[in-house]
Structure 1
Amino acid sequence: MTATVVVHADPDLLAQAVAARLIVRMIDAQAERGEAGVVLTGGRIAAAVYRAVRNLPARNAVDWSRVDVWWGDERFLPAGHPDRNETQARAALLDGLPLDPARVHPMPPSDGPDGDDPEAAAARYAQELASAARPATLPHFDVLMLGVGEDGHIASVFPEHPVAYETRPVSAVRDSPKPPPVRTTLTPSAINTADEVWLIAAGADKAAAVGMALGGAGPVRLPAAGVHGVGGTRWLLDRAAAADLRPAFRGLR
């Protein structure tokens, strides 16, 4: 399936546009299924998107009590640590929404029930996904958001890392090339079950990875090239991140 590429002039416009797109997608999902499921990511642009959602009056058109919130990956750190993606998302958005706490599903922290065992934490998250999905293995993800690293990694799936070959839905990550070295992540096999996958990138430091991913790089060498939604794949970029794309991709919104 061909990816859709949307380029915005700058990071602020990108964050606002993604926020508006997310609200509309949640409304449409609830109109169709009665509920919605979103998978969150981390990073600077993600935090900007979450703040933009918080500031949009249209957020009140979503019934947040019927939204399931999941995470694509997490730094294996204690609960509340400022470097956890959960901590970032709660501060930027989630703590201000009328969510059902039972439908917010953070990945286990390193001081959680599994202690400092990331493999057990990954297995626990896989079980939580399966419990929410019964009789399926994974719940319905309407939107799965991913940042794109300078090296082309997505979630905590890094180039040439063994996790790229994982068939389990959730995996521990050791020896991450970016700190912290221990993480948990959805694997590509789980990511690719989402209805829509959104890859969001801003800044000139992402341009080479974006250009390679959309230029046909292999998924092990460049994990961002190997993820896609069942119903659609969207690359949501600012002008700097799109600098290495072919001219056909560069129309601004």
Structure 2
Amino acid sequence: MTISIEDVRAAAELVALGLRTSARPTDGNPYGRLVERYRTQTLFRDTVDAIAGGLGLTVLGAPARTGLVLSTQPGSVFAVRMGDLRSTGMSADEKLISGLIVLGVAAYAFPQEADLDSTEVKTVEVSALDKFIRDTIDRVQMIPGDDDTVDGQARVAAEIYRRTAAFRPKDRQPGPAKGCTQFAVAEVLGWLVERGAARPMPQLGPSTFQLTDRFRLLVADVAGGEALEAMRSVKH
């Protein structure tokens, strides 16, 4: 069996849809049909994987309700950096805090490695997640290693997090103001929404979010390191 130019075009279209994290597959739309082909046709799947690899991407999976989930290879032009979280730029301390929060979301939602194999829906709430991260700080700060390593950066971030106020009110509206950790948590969760890794759940509360399969697969693809394991050891 051979692959046609139309099949290559369809495979490239699926990769493009995977990069558009707001796109959602359904049984009847083109995205849903392409995802089904990826899940059931070996040759088409191999073609999609090859196209993604040529773009510096790796296909982590294609859950029916999420679509194609992609991660970036080292040096990929599609790589996402903490500095991309805010268009106006972030300070070094803010980037460290944001990185710690992403680890915190992973540890909070998936406290055991086996949890990454479950498709159970996970929800997080801003103040509860902020409290969880604060409860993990002592253990993260005990991690050995140089400050320029990933775990060392987490240790530095934990100290910054500790000395930053948990909550500061806005002047004229509800919610945390910029400069406190609850604001940073809400900002990171909003960023995950933009990446298709979470969705807001206002029916459960104004600061509650549901994590998607995309986030679960991205966490499973990343080597956790000692910082993640230290945070996972704290019960919530």
Q: Please confirm whether the aligned pair reaches a TM-score higher than 0.5, indicating the same fold.
A: no
Q: TM-score range by the shorter chain?
A: under 0.3
Higher helix share: 2
> Of the two structures, which has the highest relative contact order with CA contacts closer than 8 Å and spacing of 6 or more?
1
- For the pair shown, the structure with the greater C-alpha radius of gyration is 2
TM-score, length-scaled by structure 2: 0.28
Higher strand share: 1
